[in-house]
Amino acid sequence: MSAKDYIRLTVKKYRNKVLPKIDRPWRPRVIAWAGPAAFYPNRFYEKDSWYKARIDKPERYPKLHVIEPTDFYRPLAEVLAKEEIERIDIGFKPVESEDAKKEQKKLDMADMEHLSRNLKLMVDFDKIPFEQRLVFEHYGLFDDLFGRGVYFESVQGLDIAFGDHPVCSGNMITPANLNDPPQVSIESIRKGEFNTLVMVNLDGNATEAKGEMFQWMITNIPDGEGVEKGDELIPYLKPLPFCGTGFHRIAFVMFRHTEKINLPSKGSDIPSRIQSFSTLYKDNEQVLTPSAMRFFQCEYDNSVKEKLHEMGLKSPIFKYEYREALKPMQYEFPMEPHPFDLYFDMYRPSDEVEQERLEERLQEVGLKDFKRKPYLDANYMENRVNMTFWEHRRLLQRQGRLARNLPHS
């Protein structure tokens, strides 16, 4: 005991007759931290409950972080900064129309500000240029087709439509509407020159070969003429996004060239259509110059399976392999009581659990002769004795869910 505490406990030079009481600092109540396991789905299987100690933390596996020996001294801001890439324009320079130049000369910034404040400024949305290049860069078309840092401006009119479904800048079109070749309209720039149109699927290569899937390719289209006047190097094949592969980007790229070109044809079957688009352009970059691009997106539907079966091929199904969830170590005798069935469901293969739930759901809603009962477990006493606790609890839960879904009489 310190001298200060002794003086405080003594009164008028004699010792206090009661037991000394020393003030202690206020201590907050400590709640045992259960770790991340407390927030697992179906953890202890009761809603709105706080679960405390005796919960083992899941095993955490360290991640490998590679540090370059020459970069360890660099500051974090410099390491996280994006690397500047030299941008290379491989296309034509955009030409501003004479009408736009005249409109710009008529109005200066002061006049536009005055009209805007008086609500008299009229804007023609049809004459506003649409920055398609920003959309193409956002979807990574330039990087995946030509290489990193390469771009070009669309300077030539290109209208493509599959019936009533036009191709814009990333819109969705289902494969069921892509059975026939599209209608293509190309703007005429200079007579005597030629155009080449390539339809390529950037995400359709499911083989080990490097490259993209060429869906359609027509070369030597005379300027001012339709695509039927050109040479069909690769016949049209509708995009075939396999099940489970997500959205596919289908791009139409048009090149201009002054003379006819002769490109080798590798065949029309699916393995022959896998080619490297960047290699094709690099081998002919002295002759071909990109002038326009459009693209759309599509995903799997039943027409893809029908088309593959028509071609004598099987329809593959791809599944994404998710990383397994972290689970606490399983014990034969847990410290805390757990529901028997749900505790073991945590450690069962997820495919088995999902299949069991799907079968129960199909039995409830899929069968015509399945009759829902408006009451809970008519044989309650018998089932309570003959069935295990967890089986009986599941039966009550399932029948209670069905009773809530019954139509009102």
Residues 254 and 198 in one domain: yes
Cα(164)–Cα(409) distance, rounded to whole angstroms?
A: 46
Amino acid letter, residue 97: S
**Per-residue confidence (pLDDT) for residue 174, from 0 to 100:** 93
Residues 205 and 104 in one domain: no
Looking at the fold, whether 143 and 180 belong to one and the same domain comes out as yes
Spatial distance between the Cα atoms of 365 and 29, rounded to a whole number of angstroms: 51
Residue 140 is assigned to a structural domain of this protein: yes
Q: Residues of the chain whose pLDDT is less than 70?
A: 1-68, 71, 96-109, 125-131, 364, 366-376, 401-409
Q: Is residue 392 in a domain?
A: yes
Whether residues 140 and 279 fall in one domain: yes
Q: What is the pLDDT of residue 271?
A: 87
Domain assignment present for residue 54? The answer is no
CA count, 13 A, side-chain hemisphere, 284: 21
Looking at the structure, tell me whether residues 120 and 142 fall in a common domain. Answer: no
Same domain for 238 and 118, yes or no, is no
Number of domains in the chain: 3
Measured between alpha carbons, how far is 269 from 234 in angstroms, rounded to an integer? 10
Host domain of residue 140: 130-310
Q: What SS3 state is found at 407?
A: coil
Q: Tokens for 395, please give them.
A: 């039966």
Q: Would you say 257 and 288 are in contact if contact means Cβ atoms under 8 Å apart?
A: yes
CA-CA distance, 12 to 16, in Å (whole number)? 9
pLDDT given at position 45: 46
Residues 114 and 234 in one domain: no
Query: How many angstroms separate the CA atoms of 218 and 231, rounded?
Result: 5
Residues 278 and 365 in one domain: no
Is the same domain home to 119 and 139? no
Helix spans in 74-146 (H): 76-80, 98-106, 109-117, 132-138, 141-145
Instruction: Tell me if 16 is assigned to some domain.
Output: no
pLDDT value of position 52: 42
Let me know if residue 42 belongs to a domain.
Answer: no
Does the predicted TM-score (pTM) go above 0.75?
A: no
Provide the pLDDT for residue 77.
80
Same structural domain, 102 and 234: no
